[in-house]
């Protein structure tokens, strides 16, 4: 599926208070991550939610920051970052560990998480996924997070 084929998803109806979301971002590629963060802000605002933002050094730090943030009073978490393939296998290690770390925490805790870590071959690919259009991966991550928040509320999970 190409970026052009990305589905449009409707936002969920949330019972209760507007959602409180924490955006954890690794702004190494600042313009790309800021573009995705605009998408997050837009989606959260559509549900009258509040959004706090914290920065971490890089993608590798995303799982640890998520683990720390779980003790805070948020309904959900959106994680953003970007790793561009380089000449060494550093890319493979960082992508694998960041993804598996976030998945382990999410599966263990059931936290509502939207995961927007771009793992791309070129900066142009990342830029295409951070534009202010329907293909914005930050907006997709925020939508995924909010769907999980809705599910948690539906099932009475605090």
Indicate the annotated binding residues for (2S)-2-hydroxy-3-oxobutyl phosphate. Answer: 87-88, 129
Specify the 3-state DSSP secondary structure of 64: helix
Would you report the helix, strand and coil content of the chain in percent, each value rounded to 5?
45, 20, 35
Q: Check if 121 is active-site.
A: no
Residue of 90, 93, 121, 135 with catalytic role: 90
Task: Give me the residue label for tokens 């393939």.
Answer: 85
Indicate the annotated binding residues for 5-amino-6-(D-ribitylamino)uracil. Answer: 28, 59-61, 82-84, 115
Specify the 3-state DSSP secondary structure of 90: helix
Residues in Cβ contact with 6 at an 8 Å cutoff, skipping those fewer than 6 apart: 134, 135, 140
Indicate the annotated binding residues. Answer: 28, 59-61, 82-84, 87-88, 115, 129
Residue pair 94/47 in contact by the 8 Å Cβ criterion: no
**Alpha helix segments (H runs only) across the chain:** 30-46, 62-69, 90-109, 123-128, 137-154
What residues act catalytically?
90
């Amino acid at each position: 599926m190409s970026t052009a084929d990305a589905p449009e998803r409707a936002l969920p109806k949330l019972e209760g208070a507007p959602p409180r979301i924490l955006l954890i971002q690794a702004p190494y590629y600042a313009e790309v991550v800021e573009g995705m963060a605009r998408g997050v802000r837009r989606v959260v605002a559509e549900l009258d939610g509040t959004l706090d933002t914290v920065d971490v050094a890089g993608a590798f730090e995303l799982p640890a920051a998520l683990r720390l943030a779980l003790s805070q009073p948020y309904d959900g978490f959106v994680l953003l970052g970007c790793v561009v393939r380089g000449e060494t296998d550093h890319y493979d290690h960082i992508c694998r560990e960041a993804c598996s770390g976030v998945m382990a925490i999410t599966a263990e805790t059931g936290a509502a998480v939207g995961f927007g870590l771009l793992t791309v071959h070129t900066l142009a690919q990342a830029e295409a996924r951070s534009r202010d259009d329907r293909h914005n991966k930050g907006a997709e991550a925020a939508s995924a997070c909010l769907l999980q928040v809705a599910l948690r509320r539906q099932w009475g999970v605090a």
